[in-house]
Amino acid sequence: MIINSPIEHQYPMNSTVSALDQLKKLTTVVADTGDFERMKEFAPQDATTNPSLILKAAQQSNYQSLVQAVKAAHPGMKPSDLVDYILVAFGLEILKIVPGRVSTEVDARLSFDTKATVAKAKHLIALYESHGIDRKRILIKLAGTWEGIAAAKQLEAEGIHCNMTLLFSLVQAAACGAANAKLISPFVGRITDWYKNKLGSNWSDTNNGGANDPGVTSVKTIFHYYKQYGIATEIMGASFRNTSQILELAGCDLLTISPELLAELQNSNAVVDTKLDAAQVDKMEVLKLDESSFRLQLNNDAMATEKLAEGIRNFCIDTEKLEALLAK
């Protein structure tokens, strides 16, 4: 696990050390983008991608040569198959920039098919390995469904590491830990979006933001559960809406951050303190994680159920848009 140790010294309030550099002393910083040219300036350890991010990057003029090169190398290939080669092409470029790992996502349309998910993951790994990339530098992103978690258990047993995405609940996180998944990505901002929409005019940035932000508290709960039960799966907070959410999770194993928010942190000199501490955890009961118990607990969490379904739908839509783009 790549975790930076908390710093012993304190930065002065008006330090010239940026908030981003301070954060890097507490947490492994990951770039959340397919725009590999832009991530260079922030020197992240790892990088994450998803169908939406790759679609966005593939539409940019500065990446047309890469897209066309992939298409030219595989004439006549169906767009649905070509997508894998595009994902890996962007991943290969990203790995020239980051010293660590890149996350590449399995087709979201396979989120409820364990067998097909395993096959697709192995295909993606084979493509990377055909270019001389060690599989240890690749994280295969899978949706946090029961079927996706079952696929992760099989893949991890074969040395293929997984990044479990679309995580919105403790039961999903606990099941991923039980499956020995390498990493989970709880979606901080999307959790907050749901509660903000539900509360409407009753939402208060003062009362519901900062340490009380529901996305932040969700990750803290997962962190405490993992530390209490000695779960080795790495926690990577994701889908941030603002820098406050990021700084409230300083000390988390990893945080994947968009270029826009990385820039804000780089231009800030705010003091960054550790907010998550493995030595100070809340006591929680162990969850039942058989299939029926998992499905019931997830079903009883309206936010997690709705956001998981929405996330899968949107990734499916963007995958189809990417296929349409490649068909031109």
Cβ neighbourhood burial of 207 (10 Å; 0-12, 13-18, 19+): exposed
Q: Give the C-alpha separation, 276 to 279, whole Å.
A: 9
Q: Give the C-alpha separation, 45 to 192, whole Å.
A: 26
Q: Quickly count: other Cβ atoms within 10 Å of residue 178's Cβ.
A: 17
Strands of the chain (E only): list them.
Answer: 28-32, 46-48, 102-105, 138-143, 162-167, 183-186, 234-237, 254-257
The residue among 163, 161, 89, 100 whose CA lies nearest residue 131 is: 89
Residue pair 231/210 in contact (Cβ under 8 Å)? The answer is: no
For the chain, helix, strand, coil in percent to 5 are 55, 10, 35
**What is the number of alpha carbons within 13 Å of residue 199 lying toward its C-beta?**
15
Exposure string for 270-281, b = 16+ CB within 10 A, e = fewer: eebeebbeeeeb
Identified catalytic residue from 24, 71, 120, 141: 141
How far CA 71 is from CA of 34, 89, 162, 326, in Å, comes to 18, 11, 28, 8
Verify whether residue 141 is a known catalytic residue: yes
How far CA 223 is from CA of 73, 147, 157, 242, 243, in Å, comes to 44, 23, 24, 20, 19
Residue pair 104/94 in contact (Cβ under 8 Å)? The answer is: no
> Which residues are known catalytic residues?
141
